[in-house]
């Protein structure tokens, strides 16, 4: 029995090897592209703790693809999205990536979510050369990976630099404290802040570096440490639930400073959780305000999202999923019928300050893969009836 | 310094509150209910639904949720605990681990994955005592924790309480004494589920309401119970407050990045020295 099984396995393996050879010599169409469909894969946490982000993001993508499909698809091909749940675990993410690439034979990985998962699959996807559009993380590794990687979200190093530049140039800060999450994202943010300060020759402006752990519940010691140096500006960077907690603690302790935070928090969630404690907090943003009635692209997003997911409120995560789908589809349109991986990558590299979607100013070349390179600043306004963000600057970059 | 100590006491009482239900179940059936935190989260979502979708005021939603929590306790007992009661304690504990996933998945799919804010018991201005800023709501939480702790303590001195303890020690002997074992066990599950709901609703304003709100609190509540003594009601309160204060002091004076690690290392050391916890009595079985 064992023998037969092993012979069978060898047979299957050798056949699949042969079929693999066949694929490479075949012409233009890559795997996952059929006459009427294109299979696309995504990986992200849709169960477990980070499902809070994963589910709306997946639905954002799905809403966009549904819309495209209802309009007839791209060049007559409908997009079929295969979603895999990695529960925010890198080992599972890798397993799911292998499934998507080898079993489901998808054409591309779009809108993969989560720093651990994206980093966990980086080597594998790079080796395969499958187009990977939009990583739901701000770590800089994907901008550095180049090749088949097309990040969209601005990375944390860039953002940290931009935050501190704005604090010094526009807010005239003479002393700055940073309270950061003690993880990859927070550390990169700190790295960006320090690099920018060095560039500006103002390293002495940074007076306090206060780390917090993602499982922290009580922020009294953190806030006290930052308050001791009496900073003009305090940059708080971390996951969604920590920042409101810190703001509330600061209000309780009567710590007066100008708070700034990352685009991760540029969402009404921060205001509804921290209420008046979040009033006046300055945030960065790279997706133009989706609640702005003049923003046509955003209006379309909200309408479409509500059409396909009537019981959910379209939030920033859903918008992120939408952007991922939008950028991917734009690449498809540009590639036309040259749907090999190389053809698609070449088409993506024609993005030059692309502004048609919700995200603005995307440029890709062979060695430029930062995604969005311009952000703007908003101020949180607490108003019982209408909590909102008000735009206080134009799109700015580091140059 | 006093500010971080006071904050530690308040955070610690949240841990203690979450731990009381654990201790209750453990004391009566030697089972550690790993799903206690998820039951709290689930009940808090029920309260949230009462308030936002039905529009009930807080003071009605609160007791209504407690009633629902009681029903949840009965359901958990009927579906999981009772069918397994013929097996050993370990199987029941593993079943409660499974219950974590069931409740977490259910809550996400029924109530959604977004983080929501949950109202406080009282909304009053912060008061300032000797330079320490205090939220009246937090003081109330500390008081409620104390009250629940004391009432449980005295409940176990009544006939009913003694019956519960008898069941915990020897099911067959308790039956012979005319105690309805089934009734006693279902009562403890109802009470502990109600305790979970109370804890959840009091923790939610600080930790915000989502499906993971209890994950960290739950873990620390275990530590609080272990540190203070798993078989007492005073223990979790002492343990919880100690962990809260310790974490803050380590954070302030040694290292913020390592504060949790530090606190847990100390707990391990404590357990080596006093395995029954600070307030726990060593358990001797009479022959």
pLDDT value of position B112? 79
Q: How far is A219 from chain B (nearest CA, A)?
A: 8
Same domain, residue pair A267 and A225: yes
Cβ within 8 Å, pair A52-B210: yes
With CA atoms as reference, report the closest residue to A130 among A318, A325, A328. Answer: A328
Same domain, residue pair A45 and A75: yes
Cβ contacts of A319 on chain B, cutoff 8 Å: none
pLDDT value of position B88? 85
Same domain, residue pair A380 and A343: no
Q: In chain B, what percentage of residues exceed pLDDT 70?
A: 98
Q: Which band of pLDDT confidence, cut at 50, 70 and 90, is reported for residue A27?
A: low
Q: Check residue A203 and report its DSSP letter.
A: G
**Residues of B (3-42) whose Cβ lies below 8 Å from A:** 3-4, 7-8, 10-11, 14
More confident position, A325 or B88:
A325
Same domain, residue pair A164 and A182: yes
pLDDT at A22 over 50: no
Same domain, residue pair A249 and A382: yes
Q: What is the mean pLDDT of residues A314-328?
A: 91
- B70-120: pLDDT as tens digits: 999 999 999 988 898 888 888 999 999 999 999 988 998 888 777 888 888
Interatomic CA distance for residues A390 and A336, integer angstroms: 40
Interatomic CA distance for residues A80 and A77, integer angstroms: 9
More confident position, A218 or A33:
A33
Tell me if B37 sits within 8 A of B215, measured CB to CB. Answer: yes
Q: Check residue B116 and report its DSSP letter.
A: B
**Residues of B (92-151) whose Cβ lies below 8 Å from A:** 104-105, 108, 112-117, 126, 133, 135
Q: Which band of pLDDT confidence, cut at 50, 70 and 90, is reported for residue A23?
A: very low
- A111-147: pLDDT as tens digits: 999 888 999 999 999 999 999 999 988 888 898 898 9
Q: What is the CATH number of the domain that holds A128?
A: 3.40.50.2300
Q: What is the mean pLDDT of residues A262-277?
A: 85
Residue A290 lies in a domain: no
Mean pLDDT, chain A, as a whole number?
88
Q: Which structural domain, as residue segments, surrounds residue A262? A: 156-285+376-391
Task: Write the residue in B10, B208, B244 that is nearest to A244 by C-beta.
Answer: B208
pLDDT value of position A351? 92
Residue A24 lies in a domain: no
pLDDT at A24 over 50: no
Domain ranges in chain B? Answer: 2-221
pLDDT value of position A17? 59
Same domain, residue pair A204 and A343: no
Q: What is the mean pLDDT of residues A320-334?
A: 94
Pairs of CB atoms within 8 A across A/B? 96
Give Cβ neighbours of residue B234 (< 8 Å, ≥ 6 apart). B149, B153, B228, B279
Task: Write the residue in A52, A224, A269 that is nearest to B4 by C-beta.
Answer: A224
Residue A188 lies in a domain: yes
Interatomic CA distance for residues B223 and B237, integer angstroms: 11
Task: Write the residue in B126, B210, B216 that is nearest to A217 by C-beta.
Answer: B216
pLDDT at A306 over 90: yes
Same domain, residue pair A165 and A142: no
Task: Write the residue in B133, B244, B252 that is nearest to A253 by C-beta.
Answer: B133
Cβ within 8 Å, pair B251-A240: no
Same domain, residue pair A211 and A341: no
Q: Which band of pLDDT confidence, cut at 50, 70 and 90, is reported for residue A15?
A: low
Whats the size of chain A, residue-wise? Answer: 399
- Chain B interface test: which of A221, A251, A269, A272 (most B C-beta within 10 Å): A221
Same domain, residue pair A247 and A386: yes
Interatomic CA distance for residues B245 and B2, integer angstroms: 10
Residue A19 lies in a domain: no
Interatomic CA distance for residues A387 and B215, integer angstroms: 29
Same domain, residue pair A304 and A250: no
Residue A231 lies in a domain: yes
- Residues of chain B where predicted confidence (pLDDT) is lower than 70: 282-287
- A54-83: pLDDT as tens digits: 999 999 999 999 999 999 999 899 999 999
Q: How far is A191 from chain B (nearest CA, A)?
A: 17
Q: How far is B13 from chain A (nearest CA, A)?
A: 12
Residue A250 lies in a domain: yes
Domains identified in chain A, total number:
2
Residues of A with CB under 8 A from a CB of B: 47-49, 51-56, 182, 210-213, 215-218, 220-222, 224-225, 240-241, 244-245, 249, 252-254, 269, 272-273, 275, 312-313, 315
Three-class SS of residue A113?
Answer: strand
Tell me if B75 sits within 8 A of B186, measured CB to CB. Answer: no
pLDDT at A291 over 50: yes
- Chain B interface test: which of A177, A218, A249, A275 (most B C-beta within 10 Å): A218
What is the CA angle A111-A116-A121, rounded to 5? 65
Same domain, residue pair A235 and A380: yes
Q: Which band of pLDDT confidence, cut at 50, 70 and 90, is reported for residue A12?
A: low
pLDDT value of position A324? 95
Q: What is the mean pLDDT of residues A209-229?
A: 87
Same domain, residue pair A174 and A146: no
- Chain A interface test: which of B9, B110, B115, B125 (most A C-beta within 10 Å): B115
What is the full DSSP assignment across A278-333?
A: GTT-EEEESS--TT-TT-HHHHHHHHHHHHH-TTS---HHHHHHHHHHHHHHHHHH
Residue A252 lies in a domain: yes
Residue A23 lies in a domain: no
Q: CB contact, 8 Å: B153 with chain A?
A: no
């Amino acid at each position: 029995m064992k023998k037969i099984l092993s012979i069978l396995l060898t047979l299957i393996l050798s056949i699949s090897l042969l079929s693999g050879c066949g694929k490479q010599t075949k012409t233009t169409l890559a795997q996952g592209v059929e006459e009427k469909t294109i299979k696309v894969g995504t990986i992200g946490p849709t169960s477990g703790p980070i499902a809070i982000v994963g589910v709306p993001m997946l639905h954002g993508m799905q809403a966009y693809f549904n819309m495209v499909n209802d309009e007839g698809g791209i060049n007559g091909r409908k997009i079929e999205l295969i979603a895999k749940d990695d529960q925010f675990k890198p080992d599972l993410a890798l397993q799911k990536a292998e499934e998507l690439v080898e079993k489901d034979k998808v054409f591309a990985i779009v809108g993969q979510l989560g720093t651990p998962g994206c980093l966990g699959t980086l080597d594998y996807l790079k080796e395969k050369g499958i187009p990977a559009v939009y990583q739901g993380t701000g770590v800089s590794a994907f901008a550095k990976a180049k090749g088949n990687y097309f990040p969209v979200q601005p990375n944390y190093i860039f953002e940290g630099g931009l935050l501190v530049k704005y604090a010094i140039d526009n807010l005239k800060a003479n002393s700055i404290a940073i309270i950061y999450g003690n993880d990859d994202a927070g550390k990169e943010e700190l790295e960006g802040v320090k690099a920018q300060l060095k560039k500006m020759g103002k390293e002495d402006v940074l007076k306090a570096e206060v780390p917090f752990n993602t499982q922290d519940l009580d922020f009294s010691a953190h806030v006290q440490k930052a308050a001791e140096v009496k900073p003009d500006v305090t940059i708080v960077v971390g996951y969604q639930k920590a920042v409101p907690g810190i703001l509330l603690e600061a209000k309780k302790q009567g710590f007066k400073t100008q708070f700034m935070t990352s685009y991760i928090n540029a969402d009404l969630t921060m205001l509804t959780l921290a209420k008046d404690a979040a009033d006046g907090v300055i945030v960065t943003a790279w997706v133009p305000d989706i609640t702005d009635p003049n923003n046509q692209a955003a209006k379309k997003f909200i309408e479409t999202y509500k059409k396909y997911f009537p019981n959910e409120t379209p939030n920033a995560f859903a918008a992120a999923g939408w952007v991922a789908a939008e950028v991917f589809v734009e690449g498809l349109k540009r590639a036309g019928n040259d749907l090999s991986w190389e053809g698609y990558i070449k088409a993506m590299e024609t993005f030059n300050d692309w502004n048609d979607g919700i995200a603005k100013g995307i440029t890709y070349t062979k060695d430029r893969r930062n995604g969005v390179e311009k952000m703007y600043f908003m101020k949180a306004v607490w108003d019982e009836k209408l909590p909102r963000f008000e735009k206080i600057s134009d799109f700015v970059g580091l140059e | 310094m006093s500010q971080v100590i006071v904050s530690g006491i308040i955070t610690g009482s949240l841990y203690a509150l979450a731990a009381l239900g654990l201790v209750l179940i453990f004391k009566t059936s030697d089972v550690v209910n790993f799903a206690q935190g998820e039951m709290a989260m689930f009940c808090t979502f029920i309260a949230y639904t009462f308030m936002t979708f039905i529009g009930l005021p807080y003071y009605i939603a609160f007791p209504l949720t407690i009633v629902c929590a009681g029903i949840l306790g009965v359901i958990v007992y009927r579906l999981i605990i009772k069918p397994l009661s013929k097996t050993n304690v370990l199987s029941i504990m593993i079943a409660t681990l499974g219950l974590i996933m069931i409740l977490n998945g259910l809550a996400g799919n029924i109530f959604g994955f977004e983080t929501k804010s949950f109202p406080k018991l009282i909304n009053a201005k912060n008061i300032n005592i000797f330079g320490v800023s205090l939220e009246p709501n937090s003081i109330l939480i500390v008081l409620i924790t104390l009250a629940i702790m004391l009432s449980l303590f005295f409940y176990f001195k009544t006939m009913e309480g003694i019956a519960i303890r008898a069941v915990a020690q020897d099911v067959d002997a308790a039956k012979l004494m005319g105690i309805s074992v089934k009734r006693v066990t279902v009562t403890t599950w109802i009470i502990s589920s109600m305790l979970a709901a109370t804890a959840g609703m009091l923790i939610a304003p600080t930790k915000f309401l989502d499906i993971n709100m209890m994950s960290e609190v739950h873990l620390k509540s275990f530590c609080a119970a272990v540190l203070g003594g798993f078989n007492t009601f005073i223990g979790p309160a002492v343990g919880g407050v100690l962990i809260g204060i310790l974490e803050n002091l380590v954070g302030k004076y040694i290292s913020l990045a390592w504060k949790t690690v530090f606190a847990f290392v100390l707990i391990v050391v404590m357990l080596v020295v006093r395995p029954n916890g600070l307030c726990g009595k060593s358990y001797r079985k009479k022959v």
